[in-house]
Amino acid sequence: MWFRLKSFLRFYKEACTVYNIQSPFLYDFVNNVLDTSREYYVFKSLETLRKIMRKSGEMIPSEDYGAGSAYGTIKQTIPLDKIVRTAVSNPHKCRKLFNLVNFTRAKKILELGTSAGLSSAYLAAADSNAEVLTLEGNRIWQMLLRGITLKQG
């Protein structure tokens, strides 16, 4: 399975045109998911939110549960703009996620590692009937994102 996917992506990267793709499913997939040139109504508002977060000087308490320390969790504060610059998916990738949900008509979506919640917002915006479950290990970020979710409806 992975070999086929890698082979397709390598072919797609080297192909001169999408018309070289013979499979109807893959042709639709390329045109509807990988083509991020389409503008949807929600992109502008989500990117405005990204810009607001990048300009924010807010300090977010963080806990590192990774392999960063031999002494347990490391508690520190990180500027929100740094989180958005380094840990959040770029707009191009978020648009592909949005397109993927539209293409597959997914009704249940699981995201591991919410971070600032922008990818989750793209996933949720793609289909109002889809249920997005997102998990975040940092309890403080969970509380902050719950507040944002409740404000948005």
Instruction: List pLDDT tens digits, range 29-86.
Output: 888 888 878 888 899 999 998 898 888 888 877 776 665 545 555 567 888 888 888 8
**pLDDT at position 105 over 50:** yes
Report the pLDDT value the prediction gives residue 9, as an integer from 0 to 100: 76
Mean pLDDT of the chain: 79
Amino acid identity, residue 33? V
pLDDT category at 104 given cuts 50, 70, 90 is very high
Measured distance CA(78)–CA(57) in Å, rounded: 10
**Between residues 51 and 139, which one has the greater pLDDT?**
51
pLDDT in tens, 6-17: 877 777 677 666
For the cut 50, the answer to whether the pLDDT of residue 117 exceeds it is: yes
Say if residue 73 is exposed, middle or buried (CB neighbours under 10 Å; 0-12, 13-18, 19+). middle
Domains by residue range for the chain, with CATH: 22-56+89-152 (3.40.50.150)
Q: What are phi and psi of 9, to 5 degrees?
A: -65, -40
Position 145 pLDDT exceeds 70 = no
Contact (Cβ atoms closer than 8 angstroms) between residue 118 and residue 50: yes
Q: Which of 112, 122, 113, 118 is closest to 84 using CA atoms?
A: 118
Quick count: other Cβ atoms within 10 Å of Cβ 145?
A: 19
The pLDDT value recorded for residue 138 is 75
Report pLDDT for 151.
46
